[in-house]
């Protein structure tokens, strides 16, 4: 019991909090200020780690904001939008009537929203939207009233692709300006479709004839835009990349028949929008969608789905590595403060107060790192968004613009604080539990993990790696058709990565211990360096992780790239498609603009000498919900050239009307051979009998291949986007390609050999791997930072030891060599582990990849990459030692020995 | 029954003799939580005896009075009360360390009572267990056996948080190697115990104490810029600042030259006497024993009364 008045010092809780805050401020923050370099490095590490996570956030947010603002701009004053069962021509005249007849609808405007390319002699071709609207209705895109220019459009429509017949079009002055600009490089002939010179003779921009020299790619060929009228209001939409055509013209040019793509609905004044939405839903049927008018086109989700999951994987990995690094920095800085914490404890600081220090430090570093990471994320997001933008533009005409708000930075800071605090928890707990008396009297240094403990940890983590690899294998087996498989595969992949990291952390010090035994009696400095590395397994482990991660990531990424390339080339050379591919644009076949090959092209192709067969490939998208679109594929000469996961490999059965579904679709809808696929068509739901599930990676596996007869029956006759032409025996693909080009069948026709297609497809696939390379470069930096911080911090603690060495005769140069050789040995071991443990990583990624990309690839190990990245990582590690070495060299011996 | 008078508000320089009538409590109430105390208002170091009032104070009451006076910085309250309680009691405390196969008995059934205001010198050669005794007494180390009663509370039963609070309120440490925080200035080091105990503005008290230990004008120096003697002055000020009942000093002059050491030792004992706290001073310097009320000898962990006192 206390008989002292000092008990009266107990002040209110609030006072206590203020006081602790002050303690924290003067202690914690002063540390940050005193150790500027270390704080800076921690912020850099966190920034690097969070930037990838932030880039995912920024990209996702930018896509959604861009698409929504685009959708809203087009919608004008309409409140609701009806989307058909397919984005192209999914709405019939009949349906439009049904919509108009719905109670509460004031007006309903059917539009064609075609995505195509506008080109001119002087400028690079631009993807634009061709919006077909009818003047008898109120217009979307916020145009007030029907522009007189459009009203006067003649009803006489071009009957064939011919230069003489031009549509009346409204274009943005900005677009005109851009297309009239004289490109510095002259006309880019090799570029997609710029070599169309047929039908144009106008001098660009001459005598007020807007649109002179500009051509629009359509399903009926290149259509000149001579005579187009300017409309200033269009400047605001995607920088003027929108052309308005009379509805009938658009239907004609883009093979829509009498159908439309979407209907914008304006409600009666005072009508309840949700109620109207419900009424419309029952009026149009479940295979059509009724959504708020600003909803982005569902196709835009395809682009994000192709890239964001991969990016997310990378982001999670990067954040994990950042957390490890910050953990290292925080625990090292605490190591330095063990004594100080003991003093605080002796003065009566509660364990929680002592814990608050590192936690607050972690939080502050985290917040700063998160803000840096937001800026970094913005830098990374830019190229990713522009890649996505090319996708979304070809899919829906909408570009992705980077959207950054203050909230982005707040989110970044929050993620950073989370990571920073997470990393500080264990060091903080350790600090709070440390023995005070022993610390004050310099006893009680914790004993290092024994080699035995390290070995058992290494063994356990390697066994875990094996188990996780098995999990990956089970997760992808037979196309991962079971709904539990992707989850197993993904979690197994993460476990693989984590166990490999743990293995690195325990094997690296073991290597040092082993090497020290071997080096006994060898060169003193090397032995000393090895002893230092062996003595602190935790630190050695963290540095090794950092080095190994950068090497391993390069190895995994490059190998995966090779696998994809091998997979693509196998699929292109197999199945008898050893020929040339003909299309209107040189993009990959699954994402095309609206300009398809006119019917006469196929007939003329067949007549080119040396052509054996011409296989026209038709694709359409079915569905109206973002993320649930299905690509329907058909070809005039179907082949069963892909691996079958389940079902029958019978072409005869297929030709009788059965269909083959892609793995992701099968998984999502739990489909199997013998069942039926319900698919949305303009006439309602169709039920297609399933023949099997096969490894078709189109639309990341969300696809169905149907006989051409089924395609025509359900969706009407379709124009092909690509025709695969097979040569007669004795004619090489290259010769055939030359002959087709020489035949001048169609302006702007792209003729590509299989190897050219492969190159294109590979470059697209490589583009999707770009985030991995970004991660890799970030990791090199991280390795540098990790080695630098560790050696610097360890250096402070080791001053006494260095001084002792100096006192017994180690020269300053010797000290430098000691520090550098430590880093070099570490770099070597880390890189070796990165390679060794990269193998399981390569295998794991290759196993789970089909779930992300829709098809599986042969396993490849790109050892050549190692020739670059192993030396690079070692160099990073050695470079990082320069500053610590310099510090060691300048050490004041007397002071260090005297130093209390 | 002996009387021990303790004084709070150590910032009053002139402390009357212990037991001076105006400040002594009536001994009729001995209960710990309801004390009879004399409260005096003090202005400019002059005690206005007329203003002294005798109060029966419960624990809560004391608190209120203290706060009440604290709010008037020109006045200081002097609170005196009777205490027959010991500040520290060690009951058969043993502490052993294991070093490989070897077991070291650092404390062997140590028995000790320290009364309020008492100055005890703890003598013994190096390795005899002096530091261990102080660590156990201060709750930095838990004994293997025995009980440690600090300010009436068995601290061997406390958890880490309670232990920390008990240290904060009742104990000031002075170490051989000063143990100042290098990141903090002298005055910040001194105010740290108050900050840890939730005081919002401890600067004045800390600065005044530094002044008294002879470091006026050097408040804003960092430890690295101070001499050994100066650092120990800071450490002593830090130990005293929260008005602890017990100062545990572990060879405070062990790292100083003998001249500085003597000055520091004088300063320490003087300051401790001024505040009325008890002091346990571990040293192997027998001359320190002369300043003490009692001297004890530790040998291989066993305590005995020292003959040095008589010398
Ligand atoms: N944490 C500890 N671990 C092992 N032995 C210790 C520890 N602390 C003290 N000792 C041992 O206990 C004995 C008493 O030590 P100590 O109390 O420091 O003596 P003194 O302060 O009198 O020099 C010594 O033999 C010392 O080596
Ligand atoms: Mg000692």
Question: How far A536 CA lies from chain B's nearest CA (Å)?
Answer: 21
Give the confidence band of A443 by pLDDT, cuts at 50, 70, 90.
Answer: low
Closest partner CB to A352 (pick from B66, B161, B181): B161
What are A629-649's pLDDT values in tens digits? 999 999 988 888 888 889 988
pLDDT at A188: 32
Any idea which residue has 């990141």 for tokens? B183
Give me the residue from B138, B178, B195 closest to A22, CB to CB: B195
Q: A479-526 pLDDT, tens per residue?
A: 888 888 889 998 999 899 889 988 998 999 999 999 888 876 656 678
Mark B187-205 as b/e (b = at least 16 C-beta within 10 Å). Answer: bbbbbbbbbbbbbeebbeb
Q: Which ligand is nearest to the CA of B177?
A: 2
Which among B183, B222, B234 has a CA at the least distance from the CA of A27? Answer: B183
Q: Is the dihedral of CA A682, A687, A689, A694 positive or negative?
A: positive
**8 Å CB contact of A6 and B8:** yes
**Ligand 1: centre distance to CA A438 (Å):** 9
User: Measuring from atom 18 of ligand 1, which residue has the nearest CA?
Assistant: B131
Q: What is the DSSP string of chain B?
A: -------S-TT-S--PPTT-GGGPPPTT---SSEEEEEEEEEETTEE-GGG-EEEEEEHHHHHHHHHHHHT-TTEEEEEEE----EEEEEEEEEEEEEETTEEEEEEEEEEEEEETT-EEEEE--TTSSHHHHHHHHTTSS--SEEEEEETTEEGGG--HHHHHHHHHHHEEEE-TT----TTS-HHHHHHHHHHHTT-S--HHHHHHHHHHTT-TT-TT--GGGS-HHHHHHHHHHHHHTT--SEEEEESTTTTS-HHHHHHHHHHHHHHHHHHT-EEEEEES-GGGGGGSSEEEEEETTEEEE-GGGT-
Atom 1 of ligand 1 has which residue's CA nearest to it?
A438
C-alpha distances (whole Å) from A211 to each of A130, A214, A227, A736, B11 are: 14, 5, 6, 36, 92
Q: Report, as ranges of residue numbers, the positions in chain B whose pLDDT lies below 50.
A: 1-84, 308-311
Kindly tell me if the per-residue pLDDT of A402 is higher than 80. Answer: yes
Q: What is the pLDDT of residue A592?
A: 57
**Closest atom, ligand 1, to C-alpha of B130:** 22
Instruction: Give the number of other Cβ atoms within 10 Å of residue B83's Cβ.
Output: 23
pTM value is 0.70
Q: How many angstroms separate the CA atoms of B141 and B120, rounded? A: 21
Distance CA A530, CA A526 (A): 6
Pairing assessment for the beta strands A703-705 and A630-635 based on DSSP bridges:
parallel
A655-669 pLDDT, tens digit per residue, is 999 999 999 999 999
Distances (CA, A) of A352 to A32, B163, B190, B199, B202: 20, 12, 21, 17, 21
B167, A348: Cβ pair inside 8 Å? yes
pLDDT tens for A275-302 read 999 999 999 988 999 999 888 888 877 7
pLDDT at A347: 87
A444 contacts on B by Cβ (under 8 Å): none
Helix boundaries (H) for A76-194 = 93-100, 148-151, 173-180
Answer with the residue of higher pLDDT: A271 or A321.
Answer: A271
CATH classification of B118-142+158-310 is 3.40.50.300, yes or no? yes
- Are the Cβ atoms of B63 and A8 closer than 8 angstroms? yes
Contact flag B192-A347 (C-beta cutoff 8 Å): yes
Comparison of pLDDT for A163 and B39, the residue scoring more: B39
A12-38 confidence digits (pLDDT tens) = 555 555 656 666 666 667 777 777 777
Q: How far, in Å, from the CA of A439 to the mean position of ligand 1?
A: 12
Q: Which of B131, B137, B174, B248 to mutate to test the pocket of ligand 1 (most atoms within 8 A of CB)?
A: B131
Neighbouring residues of A831: CB distance < 8 A, sequence distance ≥ 6: A547, A548, A551, A870, A873, A874
How far apart are the CA of B164 and the nearest CA of chain A, in angstroms? 4
Q: Whose alpha carbon is nearest atom 20 of ligand 1? A: B127
CA distance B220 to A520: 51
In the DSSP assignment, the letter for residue A261 is: S
Q: What tens digit of pLDDT does each residue of A557-588 get?
A: 889 888 888 888 877 765 445 678 888 766 54
Listed in order, the ranges of chain B carrying CATH 3.40.50.300 are 118-142+158-310
> How far, in Å, from the CA of B156 to the mean position of ligand 1?
20
The protein residue with its alpha carbon nearest to ligand 1, atom 7, reads B97
Which residues crowd ion ligand 2, with CB under 5 Å? B 131
Q: Cβ < 6 Å from ligand 1: which residues? A: A 438, 443-444; B 97, 99, 104, 106, 124, 126-132
The complex scores an ipTM of 0.72
Q: Which of A9, A30, A440 sits opposite B197 (nearest CB)?
A: A9
Which carries the bigger pLDDT value, residue A7 or residue A130? A130
Q: How far is the CA of B251 from the centre of ligand 2 (A)?
A: 7
* Ligand 1 pocket: which of B99, B101, B106, B130 to mutate (most atoms within 8 A of CB): B106
**pLDDT, chain A, mean:** 79
How far apart are the CA of A564 and the nearest CA of chain B, in angstroms? 56
């Amino acid at each position: 019991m206390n008989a002292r008045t000092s008990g009266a010092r107990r002040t209110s809780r609030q006072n206590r909090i203020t006081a602790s805050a002050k303690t924290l401020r003067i202690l914690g923050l002063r540390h940050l200020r005193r150790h500027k370099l270390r704080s800076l490095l921690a912020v850099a590490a966190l920034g690097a780690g969070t930037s990838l996570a932030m880039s995912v956030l920024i990209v996702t947010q930018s896509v959604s904001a861009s698409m929504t603002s685009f959708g809203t701009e087009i919608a004008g004053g309409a409140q609701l939008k009806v989307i058909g069962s397919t984005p192209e021509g999914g709405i019939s005249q009949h349906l439009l009537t049904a919509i108009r007849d719905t109670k509460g609808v004031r007006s309903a405007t059917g539009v064609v929203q075609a995505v195509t390319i506008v080109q001119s002699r002087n400028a690079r071709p631009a993807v634009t939207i061709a919006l077909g609207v009818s003047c008898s209705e109120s217009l979307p895109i916020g145009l007030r009233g029907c522009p007189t220019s459009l009203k006067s459009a003649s009803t006489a429509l071009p009957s064939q692709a011919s230069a003489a017949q031009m549509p009346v079009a409204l274009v943005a002055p900005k677009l005109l300006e851009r297309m009239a600009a004289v490109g510095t490089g002259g006309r880019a002939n090799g570029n997609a479709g710029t070599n169309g010179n047929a039908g144009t003779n106008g001098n660009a921009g001459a005598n007020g004839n807007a649109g002179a020299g500009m051509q629009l790619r359509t399903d009926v060929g290149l259509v000149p835009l001579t005579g187009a009228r300017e409309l200033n209001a269009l400047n605001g939409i995607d920088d003027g990349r929108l052309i308005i055509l009379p509805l009938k013209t658009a239907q004609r040019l883009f093979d829509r028949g009498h159908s439309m793509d979407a209907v914008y609905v304006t409600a009666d004044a005072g009508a309840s929008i949700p109620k109207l939405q419900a009424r419309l839903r029952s009026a149009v049927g479940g295979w059509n969608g009724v959504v708020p008018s600003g909803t982005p086109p569902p196709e835009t989700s395809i682009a994000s789905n192709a890239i964001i999951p991969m990016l997310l994987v990378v982001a999670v990995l990067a954040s994990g590595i950042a957390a490890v690094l910050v953990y290292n920095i925080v625990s090292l800085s605490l190591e330095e403060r063990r004594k100080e914490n003991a003093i605080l404890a002796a003065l009566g600081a509660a364990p929680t107060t002592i814990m608050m220090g590192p936690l607050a430090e972690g939080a502050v570093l985290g917040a700063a790192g998160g803000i840096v990471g937001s800026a970094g994320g913005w830098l990374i997001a830019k190229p990713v968004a522009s890649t996505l933008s090319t996708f979304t533009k070809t899919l829906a005409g909408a570009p992705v613009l980077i959207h950054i708000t203050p909230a982005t930075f707040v989110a970044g800071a929050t993620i950073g604080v989370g990571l920073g605090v997470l990393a500080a928890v264990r060091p903080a707990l350790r600090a709070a539990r440390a023995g005070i008396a022993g610390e004050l009297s310099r006893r009680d240094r914790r004993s290092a993990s024994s080699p035995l403990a390290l070995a058992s940890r290494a063994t356990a983590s390697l066994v875990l790696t094996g188990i996780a690899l098995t999990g990956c294998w089970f997760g992808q087996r037979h196309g991962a058709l079971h709904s539990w498989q992707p989850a197993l595969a993904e979690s197994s992949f993460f476990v693989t990565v984590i166990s490999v990291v743990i293995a690195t952390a325990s094997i690296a010090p073991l290597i040092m211990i082993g090497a020290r035994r071997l080096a006994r009696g060898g060169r003193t400095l090397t032995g000393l360096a090895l002893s230092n590395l062996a003595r602190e397994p935790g630190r050695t482990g963290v540095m090794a992780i950092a080095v190994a991660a950068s090497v391993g990531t390069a190895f995994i990424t490059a190998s995966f790239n090779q696998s994809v390339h091998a997979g693509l080339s196998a699929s292109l050379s197999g199945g008898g498609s050893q020929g040339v591919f003909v299309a209107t644009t040189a993009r990959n076949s699954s994402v095309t603009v609206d300009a398809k090959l006119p019917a006469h092209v196929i007939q003329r192709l067949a007549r080119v000498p040396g052509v054996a067969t011409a296989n026209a490939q038709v694709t359409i998208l079915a569905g109206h919900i973002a993320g649930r679109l299905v690509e329907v594929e058909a070809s005039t000469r179907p082949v069963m050239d892909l691996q079958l996961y389940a079902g029958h490999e019978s072409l005869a059965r297929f030709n009788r009307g059965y269909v083959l579904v892609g793995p992701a679709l099968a998984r999502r809808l739990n489909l199997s051979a013998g069942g039926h696929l319900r698919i949305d068509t303009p006439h309602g739901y169709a039920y297609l009998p399933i023949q099997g599930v096969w490894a078709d990676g189109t639309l990341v596996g969300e696809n169905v291949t149907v006989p051409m007869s089924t395609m025509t029956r359900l969706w009407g006759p379709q124009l092909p986007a690509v025709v695969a032409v097979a040569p007669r025996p004795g004619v090489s693909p290259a010769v055939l390609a030359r002959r087709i080009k020489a035949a001048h069948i169609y302006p702007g026709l792209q003729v590509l050999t299989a190897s050219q297609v492969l190159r294109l497809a590979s470059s697209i696939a490589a583009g999707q791997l770009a985030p991995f390379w970004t991660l890799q470069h970030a990791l090199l930096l991280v390795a540098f930072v990790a080695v630098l911080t560790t050696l610097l911090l360890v250096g402070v603690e080791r001053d006494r030891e260095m001084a002792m060495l100096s006192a017994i005769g180690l020269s300053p140069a010797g000290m430098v060599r000691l520090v550098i050789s430590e880093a070099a040995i570490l770099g070597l071991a880390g890189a070796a582990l990165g390679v060794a443990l990269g193998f399981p990583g390569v295998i794991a990624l290759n196993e789970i990849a089909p779930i992300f990309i829709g098809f599986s690839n042969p396993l490849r190990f790109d050892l050549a990459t190692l020739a670059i990245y192993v030396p690079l990582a070692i160099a990073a590690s050695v470079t990082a030692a320069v500053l610590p070495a310099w510090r060691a060299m300048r050490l004041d011996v007397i002071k260090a020995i005297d130093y209390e | 029954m002996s009387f021990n008078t303790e004084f709070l508000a150590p910032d009053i320089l002139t402390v009357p003799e212990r037991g001076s009538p105006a400040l002594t409590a009536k001994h009729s109430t001995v209960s710990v939580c309801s004390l009879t105390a004399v409260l005096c208002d003090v202005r400019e170091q002059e005690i206005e005896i007329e203003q002294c009032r005798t109060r029966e104070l419960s624990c809560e009451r004391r608190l209120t009075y203290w706060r009440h006076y604290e709010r008037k910085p020109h006045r200081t309250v002097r609170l005196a009360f009777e205490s027959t309680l010991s500040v520290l009691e060690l009951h058969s405390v043993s502490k052993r360390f294991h070093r490989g196969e070897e077991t070291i008995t650092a404390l062997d059934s140590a028995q000790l009572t320290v009364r309020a205001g008492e100055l005890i010198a703890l003598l013994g050669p190096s390795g005899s267990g002096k530091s261990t005794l102080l660590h156990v007494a201060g709750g930095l180390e838990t004994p293997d056996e025995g009980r440690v009663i600090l300010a009436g509370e068995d601290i061997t039963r406390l958890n880490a948080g309670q232990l920390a609070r008990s240290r904060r309120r009742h104990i000031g440490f002075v170490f051989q190697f000063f143990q100042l925080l290098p990141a903090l200035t002298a005055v910040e080091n001194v105010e740290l115990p108050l900050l840890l105990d939730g005081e919002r503005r401890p600067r004045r008290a800390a600065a005044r104490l530094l002044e008294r230990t002879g470091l006026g004008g050097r408040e804003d120096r960092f430890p690295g810029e101070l001499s050994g003697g100066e650092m120990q002055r800071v450490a002593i000020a830090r130990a005293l600042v929260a008005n602890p009942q017990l100062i545990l000093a572990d060879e405070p002059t062990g790292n100083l030259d003998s001249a500085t050491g003597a000055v520091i030792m004088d300063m320490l004992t003087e300051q401790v006497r001024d505040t009325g706290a008890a002091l346990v001073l571990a040293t192997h310097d027998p001359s320190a024993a002369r300043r003490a009320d009692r001297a004890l000898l530790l040998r291989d962990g066993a305590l005995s009364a020292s003959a040095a006192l008589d010398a």
